[in-house]
Amino acid sequence: MKKNLIIILLLAIGAVPFQGHAQKKKTKPKKETTDQYSYTIVTDDPEALRNLNFIFDPVYVDINDVNLNLGWDAQIRYNFQNTFGVSVKYSKAYLEPNARSQYVAPVGGVSPFTNLEIGANYNISSETDSKEEHVTVKSVGNVNYYMLIPAKTMVTKALRAGYIHINTYAEGNIAFSGYDISDPSKTVSGMNGYVNDGNFGTVMDESIIYFGYSKTSSTNLLVKYKNYGNKGFATSSGWYADIMFAPVINYADALVRIPQGSASPDIFTTFHVNDNSPKFPLGARIGYTSSQLTTIGWNFGAEAGLRPAPDPLSGLYILINFGISLNIKV
């Protein structure tokens, strides 16, 4: 019994310093964070954006009533001292899902949709404003930590003009009319009645001129955070609106196959439809563009409107393009 009391006493004495140590450790203050969010402005000059842009959009979708075009486009843009700019854009379809009649074939064959656009803009005003931009400091998982940084934004208003050439297959509820080129009387008749499996269609070639207005906002901000390095962005975005006029709309002659049944061979007749088919030469569009103007950036555009076409309904369209850009300061 005495021996057991001695053991209990020794354990009790040993527990005293252990408890004191545990309390001391528990109340020890936590280590302070070393995160520093102070920053310095490295660049805040929207007039110094990279002004020569090479753009490739592998995603190009043109939805309209005469055809559906899925393809790509390539663009070159140059902005001279924020005074005027020029651009060249070429689009081509690699897929046109619209079914084409087995009974009609344009005489010159069907080539995929192409769209060449050459444009220019002249800046009529340019104003620099200040606004607070959200600039990310760091990211932890799905959480972004950012600061509001005062930055300059340049707002430019410009007049636009340009030329568009479109070559596309056109079919649908279009009142094509024409005459057999071998008919000396040139008797005109509606073409859809000659087609057994649907609407008549042929290649439409358009030359379009346009005039319009644009408003663009540009930001070129680079911030250096202590402990986190450089963060920022160089972007340009804005909208435009144009009116369009097509002095030239041409429909290609089409070879029509007229089945005669099993007793006789089919008849092939070429019809001229350009002179007697409807042409609506007016149009209008509104669009939005947004570009990241770092050395390698992204490009996005969306457009909707009414193109010159056989008639107003068939001229309605929506266009979306998205891709990458190489941007240089010259």
Residue 87 has pLDDT above 90, yes or no: yes
pLDDT tens-digit readout, 261-301: 777 777 788 999 999 999 999 999 999 999 999 999 999 99
Question: In the chain, pLDDT over 70 holds for what percent of residues?
Answer: 86
* 149-182 residues labelled b (16+ CB within 10 A) or e (exposed): bebbbbebebebebebebbbbbbbebebbbbbee
Rg (CA), the chain: 34
pLDDT at 196: 65
What phi and psi values does residue 284 have, to the nearest 5 degrees?
A: -155, 155
25 inside domain? no
Query: What does the pLDDT average to over 178-196?
Result: 86
pLDDT tens-digit readout, 244-263: 999 999 999 988 887 777 77
297 inside domain? yes
Domain that holds residue 110: 33-328
- In order of 2, 37, 137, 251, 306, the CA distances from 104 in angstroms are 117, 69, 62, 13, 27
How far is residue 123's CA from residue 84's CA, in Å, rounded to a whole number? 6
Length of the chain, in residues: 330
Residue 172 has pLDDT above 70, yes or no: yes
pLDDT at 1: 45
How far is residue 53's CA from residue 304's CA, in Å, rounded to a whole number? 24
pLDDT at 258: 75
228 pLDDT band, cuts 50/70/90, is: confident
264 inside domain? yes
pLDDT at 23: 41
pLDDT at 141: 87
How far is residue 57's CA from residue 77's CA, in Å, rounded to a whole number? 14
pLDDT tens-digit readout, 125-147: 999 988 888 888 888 888 888 88
How far is residue 145's CA from residue 139's CA, in Å, rounded to a whole number? 6
Q: What is the pTM of this model?
A: 0.82
11 inside domain? no
Domain count, the chain: 1
Instruction: Name residue 166's beta-bridge partners.
Output: 115, 206
176 inside domain? yes
Amino acid identity of 220?
N
Give the full edge-to-edge strand order of the sheet including 189-190: 104-106, 254-258, 267-272, 177-180, 189-190
Residue 13 has pLDDT above 50, yes or no: no
Q: Give me the chain's average pLDDT, please.
A: 86
274 inside domain? yes
Residue with more model confidence, 235 or 146: 235
Residue 154 has pLDDT above 90, yes or no: yes
110 inside domain? yes
Residue 24 has pLDDT above 50, yes or no: no
4 inside domain? no
